[in-house]
Amino acid sequence: MSNIRVPFNKPYFTGQETKYIQNAVAYGKISGNGYFTKKCQTFFEENYGIKKALLTSSCTDALEMAALLLNIVPGDEVIIPSFTFVSTANAFVLRGAKIVYCDSKSDHPGIDEFQIEELITPKTKAIVPVHYAGVACDMEKIMQIAVKHGLYVVEDAAQAIDSYFTFSDGTKKALGSIGHLATFSFHETKNIISGEGGLLAINETKFIDRAEIIWEKGTNRSAFFKGDVEKYEWVDLGSSFQPSEIIAAILYAQIEELPNIQRRRQSIWMNYNDLFKNEKLNLPYIPTFAEFNYHIFYLICESTEQRKMIIENLKLKGILAVFHYQSLHKSPFAKSLQNNSKLKNAERYSNLLLRLPLYYELKKEDQNEIHEIISNSLS
Ligand X SMILES: *Cc1c(COP(=O)(O)O)cnc(C)c1O
CA distances from 147 to 28, 140, 143, 152 (A): 47, 11, 6, 8
CA 138/CA 112 separation, integer angstroms? 8
Q: Is 44 in the site for ligand X (CB under 6 A)?
A: no
Q: Establish if 293 lies at the interface with ligand X (CB under 6 A).
A: no
**Rounded distance between C-alpha atoms, residue 297 and residue 273, angstroms:** 8
Counting contacts by CB under 6 A, is residue 85 touching ligand X? yes
Instruction: Spell out the residues 6+ positions from residue 359 whose beta carbon is closer than 8 angstroms to its own.
Output: 7, 9, 10, 11, 12
Binding part of the chain for ligand X, among 36-44, 83-91, 118-126, 326-334 by CB under 6 A, reads 83-91
Q: For residues 378 and 368, give the distance between their C-alpha atoms in angstroms, rounded to a whole number.
A: 15
Is 104 a binder of ligand X (CB under 6 A)? no
What is the Cα–Cα distance from 138 to 110, expressed in whole angstroms?
A: 9
Residue number with CB closer to ligand X (275 or 328): 328
Residue 69 host element (H or E)? helix 59-69
**Could you say whether residue 185 binds ligand X (CB under 6 A)?**
yes
Q: Please choose, out of 46-54, 64-72, 79-87, 332-340, the segment that lies near ligand X by the rule CB under 6 A.
A: 79-87
Q: Interacting stretch for ligand X, rule CB under 6 A, among 17-25, 57-65, 283-291, 302-310?
A: 57-65
Q: Sort 320 into a burial class: Cβ within 10 Å, 0-12 / 13-18 / 19+.
A: middle
Local structure of 110: helix, strand or coil: coil
Residue 84 interacting with ligand X (CB under 6 A): yes
CB 290 → ligand X: shortest distance, Å? 16
Q: Applying CB under 6 A, does 191 fall inside the site for ligand X?
A: no
- Residue 274 CB, shortest distance to ligand X, in Å, is 26
User: Based on CB atoms, which residue is closest to ligand X, 80 or 211?
Assistant: 80
Q: CA distances (Å), 66 to each of 37, 210, 215, 238, in order?
A: 19, 11, 11, 11
- The torsion angles phi and psi of 86, rounded to 5 degrees, stand at -60, -30
Q: Which part of the chain contacts ligand X (CB under 6 A), choosing from 151-159, 161-169, 221-229, 339-347?
A: 151-159
Q: Does 88 bind ligand X (CB under 6 A)?
A: yes
Residue 53: CB atoms within 10 A of its CB come to 23
Give the nearer residue to ligand X in terms of CB position, either 155 or 374.
Answer: 155
198, 243, 284, 357: residue in contact with ligand X (rule CB under 6 A): 198
Q: In the complex with ligand X, which residue's Cβ is closer, 124 or 185?
A: 185
* 156 contacts ligand X (rule: CB under 6 A): yes
| Binding site residues, ligand X, CB under 6 A | 58-60, 84-85, 87-88, 130, 156, 158-159, 185, 187, 198
